[in-house]
Amino acid sequence: MEIERKFLIAASASELPAGPWTQLRQGYLASGPDGEVRLRDAGGALTLTVKSGAGLVREEREIELTAPQFEALWPLTEGRRIEKRRAVMAAGDLRYELDVFEGALAGLALAEVEFPSTEAARAFQPPAWFGAEVTEDVRYSNAALALDGPPDAPPADEGVAAR
């Protein structure tokens, strides 16, 4: 299970000292309200991932792929891809994954934080440089960004509380 909260960050936050950066490209083979199937190349680490559910808690299964397997499937993701750079930042017992998007999503930056339990996720107090929470806003899922592009309107000012 993946227990994760996601936040927008200000464009200036992408300048924070973090790193090293890993280049990622993701493409979606399937995506819908019940889950997604994606391919990811994270600096040469090739995976096929199946996620089910949405929001704070999701089930996730991941398998490694060989380069020929990945390249055979990659063309099937045409029109459903994202590119971003990722830096991982230590934060006590937690880690923040800072994603700075490129291409059609340039200017968008998100921070994701994974937790060992839903209780820990609910108790988390984000640092001041985190912006609005978008955990429950499906427009900010990577699959939705790949399919629909950036959201037209920002999330509501009050953010979205984790459930």
Q: Provide the whole-model pTM.
A: 0.85
Which of 4-13, 14-23, 47-56 has the highest mean predicted lDDT (pLDDT)? 47-56
Give the pLDDT confidence of 115-140 residue by residue, as tens digits: 999 999 999 999 988 999 999 998 99
Compute φ and ψ for 80, nearest 5 degrees. Answer: -135, 55
- Residues with active-site annotation: 28
Query: What are the pLDDT digits (tens) for 30-86?
Result: 998 888 999 999 999 999 999 987 778 788 899 999 999 999 999 999 999 999 999
Contacts of residue 77, defined as CB under 8 A and 6 or more positions apart, other chains included, come to: 27, 28, 29, 38, 39
| Mean pLDDT in residue range 22-33 | 94
DSSP assignment of 114-161 equals: E-SSHHHHHH----TTEEEE-TT-GGGSHHHHHHH-S-SSPPPTT---
* pLDDT-based confidence at residue 159 (cuts at 50, 70, 90): very low
Topology (CATH) of 2-148? Hypothetical Protein Pfu-838710-001 (2.40.320)
